Structure 1
Amino acid sequence: MLKTGLFLLSLFCSLSLTSPVIAADLQTGLSISNSNLDPEITSPDAFLGYPLGQWHLRHDQVNYYLQQLARDSAKVSIEHTGQSHEARQQLTAVITSSKNQENLDQILTQRRAVKSGAAQDGPLVIWLAYSIHGDEASGVHAALALSYFLASSRDEWVEDLLDEAIVLITPSQNPDGMDRFSTWTNNYRGQTDVSDSNHKEHRQNWPNGRTNHYFADLNRDLLFLRHPETRGRVALFHKWQPHYVGDFHEMGRDRSYFFQPGAPSRTNPAIPKTNQALTEKLAHFHRAALDELKQSYFSREAFDDFYYGKGSTYPDINGSVGILFEQASPRGQVQITQNGELRLSQAINNQLATSISSLKGSLALKHELIEYQSEFYQGRDKVLQRGRQTGFLLGAPANRERIEDLTQVLAQHKIKFYFLTKTVRQGSLEFTADSSVFIPINQPQKSLILALFDNRTEFKDPTFYDVSSWNLEHAYHLQMIRNSKLDIDVLSSHAPAKFNFQMSKQAVAVLVNWQQDFAAPMLQALLQDNVTVKFAKKPFTIEVTGKAQTFPAGSLQIPLKQPGFSMVEINNKLVKLSEQYPLTLYPVTTSAAISGIDMGSPSFKVIKPIKPLLITGRGTDASEVGELWNYLDSKLAVPVTLVDVDHISKVNLNQYTHVIMVDGTYSSLNKTFARKLGQFTSDGGTVIAQKGALTWLNKNNLLKSDVKDKRFYKQLFDTRGLSYSDKEKLAARQSIGGAIVELKLDPSNPISFGIRGNRLPILKNMAIGLTTSSTPFTVAAKYADEPLLSGYLAKEYQASFSNKPAIVLETLGKGAIVGLADNLMFRNIWLGSEKIYANALYFVPALD
């Protein structure tokens, strides 16, 4: 008997679900055998040189094997869906009959017509996607076993399936995280299996393999599309418009196996009832398959169908039926659990069984799935109107870059939108042609549009597996008219012409409105080239090309007379940067303002180059580290130093301008480091800290503002008279899974510069708050009187947060501490509030 104790997977797959799907033989390694398999098709075992599952797969092995199958079999072709952050190619196997393979172009033409609601006469499309979390390895192994079986099987039911359907198999949806995990677990796997959960094989380093290169959970990104892996995945979805999507995951080792339907009371009300009925019908097939394996399972609890940014729910708002599968995770070869010994081979068996039940269930329900998808896109409200349009009118005044970002997201979701051909006034709001977009409601993607801008605050069940709101109006901080009516003659499918920068020979300086999103990366590029740039502490009005132009506080000035640079050199830099970062630059021919501060005023402060350090490692929140790293690295192009908590005490902080602390416990940092960080700040450094980091700073006497944590807020909830059965309901009310709240800004505080108006929506997902400091002038933002804008937030929290500090700016010696009660960079989609970080980076160090 092999020490690995791996299973032999024998596939006896007939049309009857009561027949054995998988048989186990502990005497041999993991392989697939069946008398009906084509011997000319390379098996995973033969390709790898060892039984599948004996070692955790690397992503390159997965790709090479899919390509081998495509060479071996006329039933297999390959879809390329771009690269990961680390340039790993993302591949999907397209498996169908050789006849269908020859007609893929025609089939894809038919798939492009799906959103018209027309009757469908092509094949069923099934997409099985695995291991979006890189350390959930059973899925990727099952995907290879299934791909081989479909490519090589001569079973009658498989031939019928491939005649009537196209099966898309994506083994790994997170290549970078998968390789991070497999390298770790393989490195600590010995010749003798160790089932102790404390063994390093099962306990990954920080960050673990769940997330991608920038530590993002890709199973939360399908609406926001911040990462290339997701963009490729969503493009594949809309290209094929699958009828059924299986989304295969792992969960805690002490659980059994889950498949949807999820908790009925937590299903998003926008999901059609037919979708849930089909989900239940498909569940019968999964139950039968797992019962045959004597594998226990559960449904209708723990997981939900609410947030549309996940792999199993995005299909539900796009005319498909998405099903979530969760297998207890061995996180290595074998672990001891509450249910006994759990092996990787067992987990693979289960995932393979429900993969096959997905295929059989979809085939059995083929006509119902096709009819459901067609009906989803039928109806007059799913047809684009002619003439006068009704829809959402959105604008980002003085910030065309934000509208460009939004329209890129809309386009990837196949949402139709228009630009304005001229300025439009509606009520008290003005929408300019260069920074506005109009989204007609009546169009095929109406359901998704309403989901993206959903503003609900009332819920039947306040329990959420993820955030309760994700409204893009608030995330982008846009002005919006929800029921706008516009004539077609003011709408255009073409974006307005970009600004072409031209320098006047008489110019003395160039001004940049800081409200523009690209102002910060342009500033960083200039600072790296040693160009002097200043920012205005106060607003001013000055003549620009014969007209009075008002600039808000925070606006940048680039003097054209600078040591070491000629005016031609400065001009060339600005022309190049204006092409790289399409924003509006304003040459001015005088230093005299019409009102407010002049160009030579001491209220224009010189911005110093920055060198930030971001504390990482165990005890810090990896997702928040990744979001800030992504912003600094990808958007600002700032060289940022990442230092783990266990090494930070050895680092000379004086070589950095900023120390950034995300949510975390920081319990391993002692008083000695606290004094060191205090000295760094007193000497002129800036600390940017958020959420849990504030507690550590306060306890170590670095932050004067007091911090209220979850223990304080729990006292607000009346628990008198509650029974044991009320425990879960109370926990749901006390949880802040993610709600959108409003801040009141102090617009004169440099932390608020570049943000339109004095109100700012943010995402709050933690019970933490600040008390008003006795030191004056420190509160940069408070929660609004009635803070909740969208999503669920218990009344107790709403009352307690009301008018309490959310952002503070405290001085300490020559430096400062910027304290944020919330993560204003949430999932890199909160473009409206990311300017707070830019202000802390560039403006705070220049303050008197």
Structure 2
Amino acid sequence: MLKTALTFVCALVLLASPLAQAKKTRLTDDPLYGITTTSPEAFLGYPLGRYLLRHDQVNYYLKQIAQQNPRVSIEQTGHSHEGRQQLTAVITSKNNQQQLASILQQRQQVKYQAKQTGPLVIWLAYSIHGDEASGAHAALKLSHMLASSKEKWVTNLLENAVVLITPSQNPDGMDRFSTWANGYAGKVAVSDSNHKEHKQGWPSGRTNHYLADLNRDWLFLRHPESQGRVALFHRWQPHYVGDFHEMGHEKSYFFQPGVPERTHPLTPLANQQLTAKLASYHQAALDSKKQQYFSRQLFDDYFYGKGSTYPDINGAIGVLFEQASARGQQQNSINGVVSLQEAIANQYATSVSSLKGALALKTELQDYQSEFFKNKHQKANKKAPRQAGRLISTPNDNLRLKQLTVLLSQHKIEYYYLTNPLTQGGKEFAVANSIFIPDTQAQSALLDALFDDVTEFADPTFYDVSAWNLQYAFDLTVRKNVKLELSVLSQAAPKFNPVEWSDKAVALLIDWRQSQATPALQQLLSQGVQVKFAAKPFSLAAKTGALDFPAGTLQIPLKQQAFSASELSQIVKKVSQDLSIAVTPAYSSGAISGIDLGSPDFKIVRPIRPLIISGQGVSASEAGQIWYYLDSQLKVATSLVDASNLGSIKLSNYTHIIFADGKYTHLDESFSRQLGSFTSHGGVVIAQKGALNWLSKANFLKANLRDARFYQQLFNGNGLAFDQKEAFKAKQSIGGAIVELKLDPSHPINFGLNHMRLAVMKNMPLGFAQTGNDFSVAATYASQPLLSGYLAQEYQSSFANSPAIIVETRTKGAVVALADNLLFRNIWLGSEKVYANALYFIPALH
């Protein structure tokens, strides 16, 4: 028995050895450097594309060939939300691999020297949308070819270039999709578009764990996948970036240039000229395959938050590729059957053409990058006693400033902290929440893009948003063209100094205007601490004079049944230190003006139990943004419940029912009655954008809604020629423009906001009528609403002074109706407080 066991163990060891593995997989490639590099087919045990790849298979393959082949090494760029490793293969000659440290050091100097040395850097990145699978498969095929090929052009390429290959940029979405498609694939391929293999469940594999489109996150960097990707970009500072995607199955193949008139004006003309030169290589590659393609149509080069445009504002050439998608093994289309195998072949062909084209244009790419950064960096201006730039502050809020500085650092944008408070243009800039960003620096082009404020466009057609100015997203106070002495600036962030208090304090107060106040409130509630909020402003006496507190201020009474005053103090101190949040002790309940601390106008905040409706018909991206805010930012246990299951659950188990944008036509009158009972007993419904259509049709929403049909009447298309109709349709679209809201500061939904006005992203023709007595209007669109981006004048005139945020009372509960998404891509930090108020304050005060 023992002998048999030992024989079995020895067999396992033998099977695990490299020699045994080589025999098992029958490697047949010609050896390079005396070794054999495993092909994808040998690694998988079946032809590449027979089954859709999982992310772990991609990673294992990259690691295996890196162990086998001296041309290959691995870069790790962090993990996804679900903990999956993000890997990039670094492929270059054996000699360059030995010099990588020196090459990387050279790359870090690209922004600061006129003449470049060292190899060309080419980055090919695939499948940022998890259900666009052909790219990841082509990446493995390409990695193997580069690692093992003896062709002269390949050896020449690898001597003169470093090739970065990232097969999957969205690990969580990729695995969601591959599990779905493989699970419904039969032994016989089904090309019927109605087959379940091609009809993904909710959510699709396009998005990441929090249902975010990662190809809209290059500027905002709200997700770890994006953060690692941009860190890789700036580590290598590539000359060329290939961004490989899939599109609808009825199309053919696309590569840039995109629509010339829809290129962002900050992108240099030379960038588009080089893109056009590179296109000739893609044309030749696809023509040789008799694969049809198109260019200069449909897609643009405008929004810098995408993989093909972020390089353009950072000194590289970014090129978008789009392959018709099989969304599985094969699918019927008007052009015939689209197959995964053919898609892989096309993506491989343009990957190779990218390498050949970039190598042929090496000198031009290097010269272009040097010219892009020429004279932009501060090192040329260190002797100047004064620097011009932007002075920025986040009044009464340190967290938004911290998040801004983190974002700037990730984009390698230089900034400084003040050493003394300043006053500019009648605005005070405190040391604790102000920074200065010099105009002259290596990343000045990207800096200008982040604060872009264009409102006039030659072509009003946009593939994505037309505006993204961080001033509005972060609700920043900004002063441009400010000149400051370098001596009043510091690279060191001011230290947070928590306030101490004695045992004579009767209560602790937290200014709600601090962004950290919301997660602090949630932490306190989760520990069973009683917290109240002020429905009205008040002032308390202090040694330095009167201290004014706005409505929304949180109060933690230091006399509570569940805790001693000492225990409460320790809990609050820890929260204060963990979140760097200012806490003010009160030594008397008596106010010198406004409400006293024991006033009934201090309302108790109840713990929240939110439910987000999910499933078919619901906007996955917007549901994901709400989920991300609650789960990742506030640390609130949040239930996602499929709409089809709503009839079988008790709504009374929850405090809030949240409707993201979407079409809820499958919900019936029975559920509307359930909602009515829910709100009458104290529940709160929060609904935004398209969800309001269903609430209105179900007679649940009392406000008079204006939907797309109302706004279409504003546009007159009579007498248009056929070739004018496309532009007319674009004019009617709201791709994404920043508009201004005028707030009612006394309304609890607006507590904690610093200004009478608020900027929001508008991307849907939807609003409310100006009349009605059954609701309170918390915010209206400004008389001249457009702040940044494109919005047709017809919309501007119609939205002007009309309601944007409405709160309707329901016995003990309420309905919060939002015409816009106030958590847009989780970068709209300036309006997050509205959501916080709807969660914590509206149940107690409406």
TM more than 0.5? yes
1:798-809 counterparts in 2 under 5 A? 798-809=796-807
Q: Report how far residue 773 of structure 1 moved.
A: 4.4
Q: Which residue of 2 aligns with 1:575?
A: 573
Q: Report how far residue 384 of structure 1 moved.
A: 5.0
Aligned 8 A contact 1:384 1:444 in 2: no
1:276-355 counterparts in 2 under 5 A? 276-355=272-351
1:229-244 counterparts in 2 under 5 A? 229-244=225-240
Q: Which residue of 2 aligns with 1:532?
A: 530
Q: Which residue of 1 aligns with 2:451?
A: 453
Aligned 8 A contact 1:544 1:586 in 2: no
| 1:222 aligned partner, one-letter code | W
Structure 1 outlier segments of 4+, above 6 Å = 31-39
Q: Which residue of 2 aligns with 1:621?
A: 619
Picking from 683, 699, 702, the partner of 1:701 is 699
Q: Which residue of 2 aligns with 1:23?
A: none
Matched, 1:595 2:574: no
Q: Report how far residue 37 of structure 1 moved.
A: 7.0
Q: Counterparts of 1:304 and 1:578 in 2: how far apart (Å)? A: 46
Q: Report how far residue 438 of structure 1 moved.
A: 0.9
Q: Report how far residue 376 of structure 1 moved.
A: 0.6
| Partner deviation per Cα, 1:13-59 (whole Å, 9 max, x = no partner) | xxxxxxxxxxxxxxxxxx99976878711111111111111000000
Picking from 674, 687, 690, the partner of 2:685 is 687
Q: Secondary structure at the match of 2:665?
A: coil
Sort the Cα spacing of 1:470 and 1:33 in 2 relative to 1 into closer, same or farther, 3 A: farther
Picking from 487, 504, 507, the partner of 2:505 is 507
Matched, 1:462 2:460: yes
| Partner deviation per Cα, 1:291-314 (whole Å, 9 max, x = no partner) | 000000000010000000000000
Matched, 1:49 2:30: no
Q: Counterparts of 2:43 and 2:204 in 1: how far apart (Å)? A: 28
State percent identity of aligned pairs: 60
| 2:646 aligned partner, one-letter code | I
Aligned 8 A contact 2:503 2:566 in 1: no
Q: Secondary structure at the match of 2:629?
A: helix
Q: Counterparts of 2:775 and 2:142 in 1: how far apart (Å)? A: 63
Q: Secondary structure at the match of 1:562?
A: coil
Q: Which moved more, 1:378-387 or 1:352-361?
A: 378-387
Q: Report how far residue 698 of structure 1 moved.
A: 1.2
1:345-744 counterparts in 2 under 5 A? 345-379=341-375, 383-385=380-382, 386-744=384-742
Q: Which moved more, 1:371-380 or 1:320-329?
A: 371-380
| 1:101 aligned partner, one-letter code | Q
Which residues of structure 2 form unaligned runs of 5+? 1-25
Q: Which residue of 1 aligns with 2:773?
A: 775
Provide TM-score, normalisation by structure 2.
0.95
Matched, 1:184 2:180: yes
Q: Report how far residue 772 of structure 1 moved.
A: 2.9
| Partner deviation per Cα, 1:91-147 (whole Å, 9 max, x = no partner) | 000000010000100111100101113311100000000000000000000000000
Q: Which residue of 1 aligns with 2:112?
A: 116
Aligned 8 A contact 2:242 2:308 in 1: yes
| Partner deviation per Cα, 1:58-84 (whole Å, 9 max, x = no partner) | 000000000001011000000000000
Q: Which residue of 2 aligns with 1:151?
A: 147
Q: Which residue of 2 aligns with 1:255?
A: 251
Matched, 1:216 2:212: yes
Aligned 8 A contact 1:704 1:773 in 2: no
1:164-203 counterparts in 2 under 5 A? 164-203=160-199
Q: Secondary structure at the match of 1:268?
A: coil
| 1:102 aligned partner, one-letter code | Q
Q: Which residue of 2 aligns with 1:836?
A: 834
Aligned 8 A contact 2:261 2:458 in 1: yes
Q: Counterparts of 2:518 and 2:104 in 1: how far apart (Å)? A: 42
Aligned 8 A contact 1:540 1:550 in 2: yes
Aligned 8 A contact 1:80 1:92 in 2: yes
Aligned 8 A contact 2:658 2:686 in 1: yes
Q: Which moved more, 1:824-833 or 1:707-716?
A: 707-716
Q: Counterparts of 1:526 and 1:325 in 2: how far apart (Å)? A: 49
Q: Which residue of 2 aligns with 1:20?
A: none
Q: Counterparts of 1:842 and 1:449 in 2: how far apart (Å)? A: 36
Q: Report how far residue 499 of structure 1 moved.
A: 2.6
Q: Counterparts of 1:387 and 1:759 in 2: how far apart (Å)? A: 37
RMSD of Structure 2 on Structure 1 (CA): 1.3
Aligned 8 A contact 1:384 1:443 in 2: no
| Partner deviation per Cα, 1:337-369 (whole Å, 9 max, x = no partner) | 010011100000000000000000000000000
Aligned 8 A contact 2:27 2:42 in 1: no
Sort the Cα spacing of 1:545 and 1:629 in 2 relative to 1 into closer, same or farther, 3 A: farther
| Partner deviation per Cα, 1:500-531 (whole Å, 9 max, x = no partner) | 24222211111111010010011011111111
Sort the Cα spacing of 1:693 and 1:379 in 2 relative to 1 into closer, same or farther, 3 A: same
Q: Counterparts of 1:85 and 1:545 in 2: how far apart (Å)? A: 48
Which residues of structure 1 form unaligned runs of 5+? 1-30
Q: Secondary structure at the match of 1:834?
A: helix
Matched, 1:246 2:246: no
Aligned 8 A contact 2:220 2:827 in 1: yes
Q: Counterparts of 1:312 and 1:672 in 2: how far apart (Å)? A: 47
Q: Which moved more, 1:117-126 or 1:319-328?
A: 117-126
Q: Which residue of 2 aligns with 1:24?
A: none
Aligned 8 A contact 1:144 1:171 in 2: yes
Sort the Cα spacing of 1:545 and 1:80 in 2 relative to 1 into closer, same or farther, 3 A: farther
Q: Counterparts of 1:601 and 1:594 in 2: how far apart (Å)? A: 13
Aligned 8 A contact 2:376 2:443 in 1: no
Matched, 1:820 2:815: no
Aligned 8 A contact 1:510 1:558 in 2: yes
Q: Report how far residue 680 of structure 1 moved.
A: 0.4
| 2:203 aligned partner, one-letter code | P
Q: Which residue of 1 aligns with 2:7?
A: none
| 1:487 aligned partner, one-letter code | E
Aligned 8 A contact 1:615 1:643 in 2: yes
Q: Which residue of 1 aligns with 2:17?
A: none
Q: Which residue of 2 aligns with 1:15?
A: none
| 1:146 aligned partner, one-letter code | L
Q: Secondary structure at the match of 1:673?
A: helix
Sort the Cα spacing of 1:248 and 1:37 in 2 relative to 1 into closer, same or farther, 3 A: farther
Provide TM-score, normalisation by structure 1.
0.95
Q: Counterparts of 1:59 and 1:823 in 2: how far apart (Å)? A: 32
Q: Which residue of 1 aligns with 2:786?
A: 788
Q: Secondary structure at the match of 2:198?
A: coil
| Partner deviation per Cα, 1:381-434 (whole Å, 9 max, x = no partner) | 764544211111111111011000000000000000011111110111111000
| 1:836 aligned partner, one-letter code | V
Sort the Cα spacing of 1:712 and 1:777 in 2 relative to 1 into closer, same or farther, 3 A: closer
Sort the Cα spacing of 1:551 and 1:841 in 2 relative to 1 into closer, same or farther, 3 A: same
| 1:416 aligned partner, one-letter code | E
Q: Counterparts of 1:73 and 1:390 in 2: how far apart (Å)? A: 51
| Partner deviation per Cα, 1:313-347 (whole Å, 9 max, x = no partner) | 00000000000000000000011101001110000
Sort the Cα spacing of 1:380 and 1:573 in 2 relative to 1 into closer, same or farther, 3 A: closer
